[in-house]
């Protein structure tokens, strides 16, 4: 697949080479307007080629480290477990000022009013 994309880039590279040669000729003839237009064309063509090359590179690369797999290198925390009731005897082991979660029992569910359909 990458070789197909690379072979499709060949006409764009030839266009880029022709534009570079034309810029040299325009500068020799001191035609600044034509040189400016050709430089804009070179810039646009090189942007297209850079996007194609980066797309090919992304398609062939596989994740290597944690920064490639996780957002910012850290796995995402999931809070879908329910807490158990804290044993009163373990409260002495907690740091002073610790605020205990009030989420005990079933997983949190959205509130429903009595007339609301389920």
Residue 30: phi, psi to the nearest 5? 60, 40
Asked if residue 54 belongs to a domain, the reply is: yes
Q: Could you read off the pLDDT of 30-78 as tens digits, one per residue?
A: 999 999 999 999 999 888 888 888 877 777 766 666 666 666 666 666 6
Q: pTM (2 decimals)? A: 0.45
Asked if residue 17 belongs to a domain, the reply is: yes
User: What pLDDT score does 57 carry?
Assistant: 76
User: What pLDDT score does 50 carry?
Assistant: 86
d(CA 4, CA 22) in angstroms, rounded, equals: 29
Asked if residue 51 belongs to a domain, the reply is: yes
Asked if residue 84 belongs to a domain, the reply is: no
Is residue 15 scored above 70 in pLDDT? yes
Rounded alpha-carbon distances, angstroms, from residue 82 to 94, 99, 102, 109, 110: 19, 17, 10, 12, 16
d(CA 79, CA 105) in angstroms, rounded, equals: 14
Asked if residue 76 belongs to a domain, the reply is: no
How many domains, the chain? Answer: 1
d(CA 39, CA 47) in angstroms, rounded, equals: 12
């Amino acid at each position: 697949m990458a070789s197909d994309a690379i072979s499709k880039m060949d006409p764009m590279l030839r266009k880029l080479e022709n534009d570079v040669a034309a810029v040299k000729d325009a500068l020799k003839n001191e035609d600044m307007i034509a040189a400016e237009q050709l430089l804009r064309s070179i810039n646009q063509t090189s942007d297209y080629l850079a996007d194609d090359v980066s797309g090919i590179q992304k398609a062939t690369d596989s994740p290597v480290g944690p920064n490639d797999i996780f957002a910012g290198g850290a796995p995402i925390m999931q809070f879908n477990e329910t807490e158990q009731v804290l044993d009163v005897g373990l409260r002495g082991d907690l740091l002073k000022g610790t605020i205990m979660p009030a989420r005990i029992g079933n997983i949190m569910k959205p509130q429903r009013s009595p007339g609301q359909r389920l």
